[in-house]
Structure 1
Amino acid sequence: LTEAQKASRKIVSEQRKEKQAALAESIMQLTQEHSQKIAGVTSKHDVTVEKVKNLVMGVTAYKKSHGPTLTNVLIFAKVQEVNSELPAGSKHSVSELRRLVAEDPKYQNLTENEKEKLKDVLKEHRESKSISVRATNTAAARDVQSGLDLIFRLLDGLAVRTGIYVTLFVTRGHAFDTHTATWYSTDNAMDFFEDILELELDAITKQFEMWACNENRNLAQRDSLENMQRDSKRMINASFCLFVPMGARLNYANFDTAIKLKYGVDKRGWLQGVPFKSPTNLGNVEQVRALRDALKAQKCYFFKMTASDQRSFIEELEERRDAGEAVSTTRKKRSDAGVKRKRSRRESGLLQSKYPRAGRPWKATKRRTQMPKMVARTRTRRTSHGAIWRPTNILQHTLYIRLTVVY
């Protein structure tokens, strides 16, 4: 570097240091003023400093939903025991249920397995309650409205915090439902549909509602065997395609050798009692429904094996082969194997295949179709007005000749 370049860089460095020192001093003053104001707010409203800081700074705490506690589990078990057969108005209160639980000796010394079983019962009850069908259309409409209000508030806050764009369409699933179709969009996300797709959100919502009502399927029809099989197969393929190359297919019969050994992909959470095969080959409605629910809840999925898991699996597979176990299913042998059969026209070469043979270009055969007797060849003629007229049959040719003679 020259002396001039060194001097200019030194000047720029000094200016940068001065700016950083001025910024640090301003931040210190702002922090002091901020602390003084927070102290004033805490003394005025009698709250803690941490609460005011969380409210001012806008800190968002993401927490998972709490699982059932042992107290909730025991109270629920007692409710099922004493309140299930009592009419409305005469059921035991929560305080009475707590007292009954404390006095019941069978709930005092529970083992860990018994506690887990009671927790599973409460979890299943909560899940069934969250997805249960409402008794009337009015109750369903209120449920939709309250749920959408919560979703809209969450999306509004998420858009402010992270700057995302969201567009949401909601419509009824049957013509007899009472809740109306609506749409939601953050900021100017609707401009994408109007400027790029040249569609208005109201028109899209109307078309969406018409499509949903024309499906004319109730909840029982949606849970038919065919629909559940299709949904299960779609979710299985979506999970499987994340870890395999494009074009790879799931081989259920030879999963250990064709998938697990070749691609290093294994399954997890496949339900016991459900055969491992394509959902379209399962004829039991309860098995397909349980598999669909497990796939939807992401309890059943595919995952990529680690290198150590693959090595241990290969060793296990070799041990099984050495023991004489068939690790893969072989293709069933034809019943007429070894018997000379009559060759088809395609095999004998009389019928040309639509795929070319290796090393020879395939050429399509030209076929000449015989024209009808009353149809002549198409000729292009130019009229006196400059327009092009193409007669296609004998009558039009005759008419053209007569018009030419007249004119």
Structure 2
Amino acid sequence: MYVLIHTSDLPDGERKTLSEIQDSIADVDWKAALSEERQQELIDELIAHRKMKHTGMRATNKSAQNDIIRTCEHIACEVRPFPPYPFVSKFLTEPQLDDLAQRTGYSAFFMGARVNVNDDAAPNFHGSGDAEKFFPEVLDKSTWEVSSLFEQWLCKRDKNLMERETIPKLRAECVAFIRTGLRNITNMKALEMEYARYDERIVGVYKVKLVGHPFGIKNPSEITTSPNLRTLRTALASGQCHWARLTNEEHGAHMKELEKQHAAAVEKGEPRRRKRKDAGVPRGSYKRARNDGGVGPSSSKKRKTKQSSGTEEAVKDKGKGRSKSVVDSDSE
């Protein structure tokens, strides 16, 4: 509330001190002047403002560099910068990772690098215990070489926002979010989402439902615009759209509603299953194509031909035997 109330009338960059704020509200019962709805609205706005400060993109490369340095230092309690970059002067001599290694023998390392060649942030690496020995002994590379390769790999993969977020990729991310959530809540690793018969096959069978979908239960393949796909992905990633279990009462009410819908469809004469696209089209017998490009007989005819040919050969061979010799003729 400090950000929203006490600095609203001040120029940009100026703030009141804590004592000035305390003096201004000492004789004012501001809570009584605000309704509960207004208080909750202010709290929600403050939470959204803080979240934007934590996750919002930095406007300049300089501000991004300062944010990177502070965050990296916070991870290991003022992590020491990499030696080739001495311009970073703020660090402590006893990071928390080193203290952890001395207390428990637990070795760990932290490595970070920029993702864009226009950024000024330097690679960061810090290892505790025997972590730094891993790279030269196993990978045959120094920590500096590994950090440089990591930075090169990140910069090479960097793309602009429109190239990264194509419609097929956004669609695939939404499908993965929905499928993973469904499999986790049902504990069935091979289960697939069914949009056409969602109420029967998913809600009715597994007693779970997808809550908070911004466009209803709609297949991501039917969403054709990037803004709508981003909206769905944001809802899935933030947890606003999530899978939830149904109670027995909710499941029973859902099944009764399905029965009513089916009964109404029967009265109207609507089929429960959609017709095939080729319904009513006459279908002929299937004939195999010959090697010479023509259409040959069916397999049953081929089998009959083979059997008849075998019988004819047997008839031809019948009665054949050893020819009469001269001795046989003399004995007769």
Fold match by TM threshold 0.5: yes
Shift of 1:335: 4.1
* Other-structure match for 2:85: none
List aligned pairs for 1:218-297, cutoff 5 A: 218=160, 222=164, 227-242=169-184, 243-268=186-211, 270-271=212-213, 273-279=214-220, 281-297=222-238
Counterparts of 1:208 and 1:330, CA distance in 2:
57
Q: CA, structure 1 residues 322+262, in 2 after alignment: closer, same or farther (shift >3 Å)?
A: closer
Shift of 1:145: 1.3
* Other-structure match for 1:77: 4
Counterparts of 1:232 and 1:178, CA distance in 2:
34
Query: 187, 203, 206: which is aligned to 2:129?
Result: 187
Counterparts of 2:251 and 2:272, CA distance in 1:
20
CA contact (8 A) 1:78 1:97 kept: no
CA contact (8 A) 2:114 2:122 kept: yes
**In the comparison of the two structures, how many residue pairs are matched?**
266
CA contact (8 A) 1:102 1:108 kept: no
CA contact (8 A) 1:228 1:292 kept: yes
Counterparts of 2:216 and 2:102, CA distance in 1:
47
- Provide structure 1 residue ranges, at least 5 long, that are not aligned to the other structure: 1-72, 352-407
Taking structure 1 as the reference length, what is the TM-score of the superposition?
Answer: 0.52
CA contact (8 A) 1:166 1:189 kept: yes
Q: CA, structure 1 residues 330+337, in 2 after alignment: closer, same or farther (shift >3 Å)?
A: same
Question: Aligned to 1:323, what secondary structure does the other structure show?
Answer: helix
Query: 331, 334, 343: which is aligned to 2:276?
Result: 334
Counterparts of 2:102 and 2:262, CA distance in 1:
60
CA contact (8 A) 1:158 1:164 kept: yes
Q: CA, structure 1 residues 337+196, in 2 after alignment: closer, same or farther (shift >3 Å)?
A: farther
Counterparts of 1:94 and 1:222, CA distance in 2:
45
Shift of 1:313: 3.9
Are 2:148 and 1:211 equivalent residues in the alignment?
no
Q: CA, structure 1 residues 216+247, in 2 after alignment: closer, same or farther (shift >3 Å)?
A: same
Counterparts of 1:157 and 1:290, CA distance in 2:
44
Question: Aligned to 2:39, what secondary structure does the other structure show?
Answer: helix
Shift of 1:171: 1.9
CA contact (8 A) 2:223 2:229 kept: yes
Cα RMSD over matched residues?
Answer: 4.1
Question: Aligned to 1:246, what secondary structure does the other structure show?
Answer: coil
Shift of 1:148: 0.8
Counterparts of 1:146 and 1:126, CA distance in 2:
17
Shift of 1:222: 4.5
* Other-structure match for 1:135: 59
Query: 126, 147, 152: which is aligned to 2:76?
Result: 152
Q: CA, structure 1 residues 331+81, in 2 after alignment: closer, same or farther (shift >3 Å)?
A: farther
Question: Higher relative CO (CA 8 A, sep ≥ 6), structure 1 or 2?
Answer: 2
Counterparts of 1:200 and 1:215, CA distance in 2:
23
CA deviation digits over 1:220-273, x for unaligned, max 9?
6545655544444444444333344232212234333323343444445x35x3
Q: CA, structure 1 residues 214+88, in 2 after alignment: closer, same or farther (shift >3 Å)?
A: closer
CA contact (8 A) 1:141 1:179 kept: yes
Q: CA, structure 1 residues 263+122, in 2 after alignment: closer, same or farther (shift >3 Å)?
A: same
Query: 159, 171, 174: which is aligned to 2:116?
Result: 174
Shift of 1:135: 2.9
CA deviation digits over 1:182-215, x for unaligned, max 9?
3344433456666666666544433332222122
Counterparts of 1:167 and 1:330, CA distance in 2:
60
Counterparts of 1:181 and 1:196, CA distance in 2:
21
| Identity rate, percent | 23
Query: 301, 318, 321: which is aligned to 2:258?
Result: 321
Question: Aligned to 2:125, what secondary structure does the other structure show?
Answer: strand
Question: Aligned to 1:82, what secondary structure does the other structure show?
Answer: coil
- Provide structure 2 residue ranges, at least 5 long, that are not aligned to the other structure: 78-95, 265-270, 291-332
The amino acid of 1:292's aligned partner reads R
Q: CA, structure 1 residues 99+200, in 2 after alignment: closer, same or farther (shift >3 Å)?
A: same
CA contact (8 A) 1:232 1:291 kept: yes
Q: CA, structure 1 residues 232+187, in 2 after alignment: closer, same or farther (shift >3 Å)?
A: farther
CA deviation digits over 1:251-299, x for unaligned, max 9?
234333323343444445x35x333334454345444334434444445
